[in-house]
Amino acid sequence: MGTRMFVAVYPPEDVRAQLTEFLAVRPGLRWTDPEQMHLTLAFFASVPDRSLDRLADHLADAARSVPAFLCGLHGAGAFPHPDSAAVLWLGVEDGAAELSRLARKARAAGNRAGVVPDGKAFHPHLTLARPGHTNATRWIRVLETFSAPLWTVDEVHLVESTLQGHGHRPRHRTVMTAPLAP
């Protein structure tokens, strides 16, 4: 059995702090912890130990092939649908095309390393809450008012995700960081 891992972009601390402050005055949901706020580019349900070095090498190569770019959180939504939201999220407007390119390259790096990424279509977003299949229309309207400054995406992270049991959030640990091209 391998290790659960994902490739992610983390907004800078000031953006996460601003978002945390925005959410703090909006009780009613269990919001994502600031240190876990990220944009997932690729998810690998099982990375065997023997494949980890190859995955890290291929991911570093992929990252170096993409120039750093500006990114910004904008808009909100829910998966699978606002009427029955399992996940509430903030979207990405500036940088969405570049994130999609980076996601394709991260998934290809996994395939080259012999690690199969999940097959879900990529939709750049930052998960904020898991409301449990409720109508989230009101929450989406509130989240759409959030505004933060653009930031430069200049690296990606390979992150180990360890499940902590029912009702507990997974523990995330960055295994490696790969810089993008300057």
Whether residue 80 is preceded by a cis peptide bond, meaning omega within 30 degrees of 0, is: yes
Beta partners for 12? none
Q: What angle do CA 93, 97, 103 make, to 5 degrees?
A: 115
Using CA atoms, how far apart are residues 35 and 111, in angstroms rounded to an integer? 28
Reported in sequence order, the residue ranges of 82-122 that DSSP labels E, i.e. its strands, are 84-92
Kind and range of the H or E element at 11? none
Using CA atoms, how far apart are residues 124 and 145, in angstroms rounded to an integer? 18
Beta partners for 3? 47
Beta partners for 153? 69
C-alpha 17, offset from chain centre: 16
Q: Which residues are catalytic?
A: 38, 125
Using CA atoms, how far apart are residues 49 and 2, in angstroms rounded to an integer? 7
